[in-house]
A and B are shown apart, each in its own frame.
Chain A
Amino acid sequence: MMHFFIAAIYAIAYAAYATSSYLLFIGLLPIWMQLAVTTKRWHDRDKSAWWTLIYFIPIIAGIGILSVWELSGWRTLIYLIPIIAGGIGTIVELGILKGTRGDNRFGTDAETSSEPVIETSIRLCGISSIVFVFGIFFFVFREGAGFLFNGLDIGQFLTSPEWYPTSLNNKRYGTFALILGTFSVTALAMCMAVPFGLGAAIFVSEFCSPKLRETFKIVIELLAAIPSVVWGFIGLTLMNQLIIQVFNAPIGLTMLNGSIMLALMSVPIIVSIAEDALKAVPDSYREAAEALGATRWQVIYRVLLPAAKNGLLAAVLLGAARSIGETMAVLMATGHSVNIPSGPLSWIRTLTATIAAELGEVARGDQHYQVLFIIGILLFTITFVVNLIADLVIKGIRQQ
């Protein structure tokens, strides 16, 4: 596993090294790593690291063969024989055979002495998530910071509905309409997803036979697996036609269309987290209520729902966070026009879709470019806060 990992880093680093002189120093890293690993393996086998020089023997032998015999045609392949034989030999010695048992003259038993290294890398991987979360904030912030602290009118950014980033003489960066678009489409999606999600969670956890439960869970899992761009495509084609025909609307790419797609995407999250919350209620609650003569529904309504209400709230919050962050489906299905939403059939535009549609067309370092990163910071902050609240709400139940 370790060797595989190092080989992967080696390959990636080499690819970067091969093309960019800017990254020249990375080229030294794999050589050093290769030497370090090789030396360690020789020592594990109780041999001096000078054995590394054995790599050169087949090459020298090959050159010797070439200089002694004048080989031509396919016979030149003969000089490959010592190289291949030597290669296989070192691969077996270094790559396959186990280290000597117990301590040897180079140190303690290989299997236990490598432990500090492995444990350190496990610890490093363990904290990687923290590093990445901060990294995301740092790098997005870094690209947008210049304009955020120097020039951007934050009041106007948050409250003005005028989004004219490409206007020639009067550029205006007001995201109010976009924020409203994001929240209205999410709210409408939640109106649809929450009853279905919670209803399904209750049914799956309380009424189902085990076999039916498995079936429903598989369906929900498959529903969650459908990529967002495919939901967007369905919104663009099937749902578009449907809305035009049902509501007699001129165009079906509306807030309603987008929120139906978002609802379908967030239902699986709501179901799985809500079901976990219901499952976490101790069976003794159910038994106590049933012993008092309550029917199954009364148990759910009077006992389970109040007991699991924090978990259910967290499920709804995480579903909403998913909807707020969704990009491709809303980009394709909501009409993508900056507009203060006036009803389910108005077309809107969201924060995420704006970034996705415009980032490809701006020059780096431009004000417009930086504003898109500032929108990214805004989105990051919103979802971070929602996730944090959901986490605190869930932790709240555990402590009870």
Chain B
Amino acid sequence: MNTDTPVSPQDMFTETPIDRRKRLTESVMRVFLLIVTSVMIIPLLLIIGYLLYKAIPVLSFEFLFSNPRDNMRAGGIWAPFLGTIYLVVVSLLVSAPIGVFAAVYLNEYARESWFTRVTNLAVVNLAGVPSIVHALFGVGAFVLFAGLGESILAASLTLAIMTLPVIIASTTEALKAVPMSFREACWNLGATRWQTIRRIVIPNSISGILTGVILQVSRAAGETAPIMFTGAVFYKAIAEGNLFAYNIIEQCMALSLHLFTISTQVPDVTEGTPHGTAIVLVGSVLLVNATAIVLRVYLRTRKKW
């Protein structure tokens, strides 16, 4: 190229080697990151596919509604399934009100101060405590100190404290999404803080709060370590088909612990039974999560502000 002549418009927009390298890096990175991200879909599909494939021969209504038989080598999952429902419901009764109120406090009452920071830090740390340490806490506090013994109640309380941060986090998100102008308008009409919360803030964020509660259900249903020593047992026979077969001051079976037991502790389990248990567990948890996702998407489409 002759350097004496001024650069023509065509030359200005033609690609230099540097430009080409930039463009190449750009597209290589884009494709690379796309692959990296897409790789994460594979384990999800692989796990569900593998479990379903292995579990198809045993899956039936009878599997769900009959008790384990022959020292848990065969039979269904009724007792553990019902036990998990009990644990989830009781823990929800405890953690939902406390979690929602805690989030209301953090978002609506607390001012910016060192105390609020410590509270927020405590929520983060509570979420980070290992599940097995929650189990030790449950043994020390509920089973022994409070005298509840190994029972559904003790296990549920342990689960409730463990899942509290889930509810607090998502309720805080939901409350934050309510515009400040809504509150200000309400205060200007002479309403008190609590009236504003009850009539304006909570009705406008109820779907978000529900999402948090639903996620708590999914989390509590899958946990194993915290209930192992606080209330779940390897085996307990209950009446089939009776929804009130457990007493909350007694022990129960649980789906997650049952999966652990029959896949590691019991020899010669019927082929497919552990896979069937696993798919029921994963299926219930994913179904609950899917409900939360649908609820969230629905909420976003009808949001008025």
- State the A residues within 8 Å of B (CB): 1, 4-5, 8, 12, 15-16, 18-20, 22-23, 111-112, 115, 118-119, 121-130, 132-133, 135-136, 139-140, 142-143, 195-196, 199-200, 202-204, 207, 216, 218-223, 225-230, 232-234, 236-238, 264, 267, 295-298, 318, 321-322, 324-328, 332, 352, 355-356, 359-360, 364, 372-373, 376, 379-380, 383-384, 386-388, 390-391
Which residue in A234, A322, A356 is a CB contact (below 8 Å) of B132?
Answer: A356
The reply to whether A196 and B105 form a contact with Cβ atoms under 8 Å apart is no
Take A199-B37, A230-B281, A233-B259 as given contacts and tell me if A298 and B22 are in contact as well, using a CB distance cutoff of 8 Å: yes
Take A132-B161, A360-B229 as given contacts and tell me if A111 and B101 are in contact as well, using a CB distance cutoff of 8 Å: no
In the complex, which residues of chain B have a beta carbon less than 8 angstroms from the beta carbon of A133? Answer: 122, 125-126, 129
The reply to whether A125 and B128 form a contact with Cβ atoms under 8 Å apart is no
B275 to chain A, nearest CB (A): 8
In the complex, which residues of chain B have a beta carbon less than 8 angstroms from the beta carbon of A5? Answer: 97
CA distance A195 to B40 in the complex (A): 12
The reply to whether A132 and B130 form a contact with Cβ atoms under 8 Å apart is no
CA distance A139 to B22 in the complex (A): 58
Which residue in A16, A128, A140 is a CB contact (below 8 Å) of B164?
Answer: A128
The reply to whether B40 and A136 form a contact with Cβ atoms under 8 Å apart is no
CA distance A127 to B43 in the complex (A): 39
In the complex formed, the residue of B with least CB distance to A118 is: B194
In the complex, which residues of chain B have a beta carbon less than 8 angstroms from the beta carbon of A352? Answer: 130, 132, 225
Which residue in A15, A18, A233, A298 is a CB contact (below 8 Å) of B278?
Answer: A233
CA distance A233 to B224 in the complex (A): 12
The reply to whether A140 and B136 form a contact with Cβ atoms under 8 Å apart is yes
B258 to chain A, nearest CB (A): 9
CA distance A356 to B261 in the complex (A): 13
Summarize A's interface: helix, strand, loop or mixed.
Answer: helix
The reply to whether A140 and B229 form a contact with Cβ atoms under 8 Å apart is no
Tell me if B140 counts as interface (CB < 8 A to partner A).
Answer: yes
Which residue in B40, B228, B249, B285 is a CB contact (below 8 Å) of A196?
Answer: B40
A-B pairs with CB below 8 Å: how many? Answer: 278
- What are 11 sample pairs from A and B whose C-beta atoms fall under 8 A apart? A12-B153, A23-B147, A115-B194, A122-B101, A126-B101, A129-B119, A129-B122, A221-B289, A229-B224, A229-B256, A298-B26
CA distance A207 to B281 in the complex (A): 35
In the complex, which residues of chain A have a beta carbon less than 8 angstroms from the beta carbon of B39? Answer: 196
Tell me if B260 counts as interface (CB < 8 A to partner A).
Answer: yes
In the complex formed, the residue of B with least CB distance to A134 is: B122
In the complex formed, the residue of B with least CB distance to A322 is: B128
Contact with A along B268-286 (1 / 0, CB 8 A): 0000001100100110011
In the complex, which residues of chain B have a beta carbon less than 8 angstroms from the beta carbon of A230? Answer: 47, 222, 259, 278, 281-282
In the complex, which residues of chain B have a beta carbon less than 8 angstroms from the beta carbon of A388? Answer: 121, 125
The reply to whether A123 and B47 form a contact with Cβ atoms under 8 Å apart is no
The reply to whether B130 and A129 form a contact with Cβ atoms under 8 Å apart is no
The reply to whether B133 and A376 form a contact with Cβ atoms under 8 Å apart is yes
In the complex, which residues of chain B have a beta carbon less than 8 angstroms from the beta carbon of A383? Answer: 125, 128-130, 133
In the complex formed, the residue of B with least CB distance to A271 is: B40
Tell me if B187 counts as interface (CB < 8 A to partner A).
Answer: no
CA distance A22 to B218 in the complex (A): 35
Q: A18-B249, A295-B23, A297-B26 are in contact. List 8 more A-B contacts (CB 8 A).
A: A15-B248, A112-B195, A126-B102, A133-B126, A143-B136, A200-B40, A223-B40, A328-B260
Take A133-B122, A223-B40, A384-B125 as given contacts and tell me if A332 and B134 are in contact as well, using a CB distance cutoff of 8 Å: no
In the complex, which residues of chain B have a beta carbon less than 8 angstroms from the beta carbon of A129? Answer: 102, 119, 122-123, 126, 164-165, 168
Summarize B's interface: helix, strand, loop or mixed.
Answer: helix
CA distance A321 to B224 in the complex (A): 18
In the complex, which residues of chain A have a beta carbon less than 8 angstroms from the beta carbon of B164? Answer: 128-129, 132
In the complex formed, the residue of A with least CB distance to B46 is: A238
Take A125-B101, A196-B40 as given contacts and tell me if A391 and B225 are in contact as well, using a CB distance cutoff of 8 Å: no
In the complex, which residues of chain A have a beta carbon less than 8 angstroms from the beta carbon of B229? Answer: 359-360
CA distance A52 to B168 in the complex (A): 38
CA distance A332 to B228 in the complex (A): 15
CA distance A295 to B136 in the complex (A): 53
The reply to whether A139 and B264 form a contact with Cβ atoms under 8 Å apart is no
The reply to whether A226 and B285 form a contact with Cβ atoms under 8 Å apart is yes
In the complex, which residues of chain A have a beta carbon less than 8 angstroms from the beta carbon of B274? Answer: 233, 237
> Can you list the 10 inter-chain pairs with the closest CB atoms, starting with the nearest?
A227-B222, A126-B105, A325-B130, A125-B101, A139-B140, A203-B33, A199-B36, A129-B122, A387-B128, A376-B136
A116 to chain B, nearest CB (A): 9
Which residue in A143, A207, A218, A386 is a CB contact (below 8 Å) of B139?
Answer: A143
Take A128-B98, A129-B122 as given contacts and tell me if A380 and B222 are in contact as well, using a CB distance cutoff of 8 Å: no
In the complex formed, the residue of A with least CB distance to B226 is: A327
Tell me if B141 counts as interface (CB < 8 A to partner A).
Answer: yes
In the complex, which residues of chain A have a beta carbon less than 8 angstroms from the beta carbon of B110? Answer: 126
Take A1-B97, A195-B36, A203-B34 as given contacts and tell me if A136 and B134 are in contact as well, using a CB distance cutoff of 8 Å: yes
In the complex, which residues of chain B have a beta carbon less than 8 angstroms from the beta carbon of A325? Answer: 128-133
Take A126-B102, A388-B121 as given contacts and tell me if A223 and B260 are in contact as well, using a CB distance cutoff of 8 Å: no
CA distance A325 to B100 in the complex (A): 26
A45 to chain B, nearest CB (A): 20
In the complex, which residues of chain A have a beta carbon less than 8 angstroms from the beta carbon of B221? Answer: 227
A294 to chain B, nearest CB (A): 8
Tell me if B298 counts as interface (CB < 8 A to partner A).
Answer: no
Tell me if B56 counts as interface (CB < 8 A to partner A).
Answer: no
